[in-house]
Amino acid sequence: MPRRKHDSIIEEEQPTQRRRRTIAYDAQWCVDNEEQLTCKRFIEHHGLLEKAKAIQRYRNIIKTYLPDSSSRLKSELESWKQTADWSEFWMQKRRQLAKLATHKTCLDYATNVLHTETASITDQHSSNNAPDTDNDDDTISEQPQDNSINTPTSSKHNFEQLEYHPPNNISSIPWMVAGVDLANIFSRYKQSAKERSEEQTLNIGSSLHDILSLTGILLLCPNQHSDHLIDHFGQTTLDKITEALLSNILDKDLDWEDAEYVKLSRIVNNMVKEIKVIDLDKRSKAIDVAELELQQLASGLNPFKKAIVKGIINMIGKLPTNDIKDEDSLGENELTCTFFDPILSRLIANPINNVHLRWSDIMAPETPRQRPDAVISKINQLSFGSSLGFGEAKIQRTSKYELCHDLLRLALFSKESIDVNYLGGCMLFQIHGFGITFYLTQLLHEQVYTMIEIGHLTFPRSINDLPMFINLSTLTTLLHHCLYELISITKCSTRECSIRFEK
């Protein structure tokens, strides 16, 4: 009896229905190992290398297939993020990823060379054997006597064809960021900057991006790109690249709960209101109450938020009650120690992990002939070891030339520290008056160091300014920075500069 068309359709639909009931292998593995499941075990078992994709996949699985254990597993993940093992684990994964990419690049390059060599030999053989019907005698007499000159491996033309030396020092290994080959464009920009430097002296203000590119550093500050940089990359492309790199650096999952922010804001506002009274005892009591309430609030927060709240407590103990009238009388040491160190020492330093913020103004191991204003140092046994970051500070009445020079120094310090200490990144900060800008330098591709601005803040001048400082935008920016454990001799301050230096 022949099968009816309806029967065949039913038979064909049955496998499809069975496939819908099958969950992915990695999800099934998590379900089977629910009791012993951790994010680290999940990543290691499945051989995942990319952090963002691995974490996202893990969260999706525990949310969809393990709802009863979701809270416990998320808590375990957050706890792991706060350990040194988290940084070391992903540093090793980045090395593995880079090694695989290098192997692939070498294989592709060898394949291209093989194809080019074969094509060159074939073309040469065809050219030598092709008869010249117009004038055979002239052709024979004009042929060179030394046949080795025309071999594929000795001809200058063939060397260029094989790309042993890429023209204009253009990077042969692509680096795709936001849909563009960042390595290739940066190499061309670097070559153009080199040619400009040979034609004329570069001004440190208007040509800071060009000068840094000659050392292999790509400076990216949102909406602060030089005209020469825009000419090569394009404004839209630069914005996309900056956004893509920032998304890989900053953890967007970090945020303040509404209750935490409201309580913190209320405590500070109440204190500022109370210290305006004439009675000294009431003012002193208001500060004591605020510090006690902030300590209680900090005790229930995670380590990063706790560091910020304790930094605010330190600021209450160091800042003047009202703004100083003559701010020009403040020196660099007073500016850094009174207004910035109280909170920066909490955010950046971590004495438990032997990381300290030093306002030493002395030469660091990575800067044998220079003296950065601040160094983030790692203590090795009883001595200061490798430098994890650097800082520079200048008072308000500072020229743009000096500020650009400080930024150039910071960039070179970070590059040297990454090379010497094999760091995954180097944190930097630059203080100008009461403004501070944070940067992070990383070596993400061969000979391309990215130095990207990750935040800009204005610090309070007094306790009365604290309510304006404690806003959600500022607190979130500070929260990101807790995670990091950073030419011409014409001194003309009127020259155009694309970098913002706010007071």
The lowest-confidence range among 17-26, 38-47, 76-85, 213-222 is: 17-26
Output the pLDDT for position 289. 93
Cα distance between residue 311 and residue 375, in whole Å: 19
Instruction: Kindly tell me if the per-residue pLDDT of 313 is higher than 70.
Output: yes
Q: Which long-range contacts (CB under 8 A, 24 or more apart) does 351-360 make?
A: 353/84, 353/485, 354/378, 354/379, 354/380, 355/379, 355/388, 355/485, 356/384, 357/391, 358/384, 359/333
- SS3 per residue for 219-259: EECCCCCCHHHHHHHCHHHHHHHHHHHHHHHCCCCCCCCHH
pLDDT at 109 (0 to 100): 59
Structure token pair of residue 232: 């090569």
How far apart, in whole angstroms, are the C-alpha atoms of residue 246 and residue 75? Answer: 25
Average pLDDT over residues 406-417: 92
Of the chain, the percentage scoring pLDDT greater than 90 comes to 27
490-495 contacts at long range (C-beta below 8 A, 24 or more positions apart) = 490/201, 490/203, 490/401, 491/399, 491/401, 491/402, 492/203, 492/205, 492/401, 493/205, 493/399, 493/400, 493/401, 495/203, 495/205, 495/206, 495/400, 495/401
- What are the structural domain ranges in the chain? 25-82, 258-489
Q: Which two tokens stand for residue 500?
A: 């913002």
Q: What is the Cα Rg of the chain in Å?
A: 30
The predicted pLDDT at position 349 comes to 84
Pairwise CA distance, residues 389 & 438, whole Å: 11
- Which is more confidently placed, 112 or 361? 361
Nearest Cα to Cα of residue 212 among 401, 402, 393, 448: 448
> What is the average per-residue pLDDT within 479-501?
46
Q: What is the mean pLDDT of residues 440-454?
A: 90
pLDDT-derived band at 207, boundaries 50, 70, 90: confident
Strand, coil or helix: 439: strand
Beta bridge partners of 379: 384
435 touches 502 (CB < 8 A): yes
Residue type, 6: H
What does DSSP assign to residue 204? T
Residue 117 per-residue DSSP state: H
Amino acid symbol at 101: A
Per residue in 323-378, pLDDT (tens digit) is 888 877 888 888 899 999 999 988 888 888 888 898 887 777 777 778 889 999 88
Output the pLDDT for position 421. 86
pTM of the model: 0.62
Q: Which of 152-166, 306-320, 394-408 has the lowest mean pLDDT?
A: 152-166
Name which residue leads in pLDDT, 164 or 113: 113
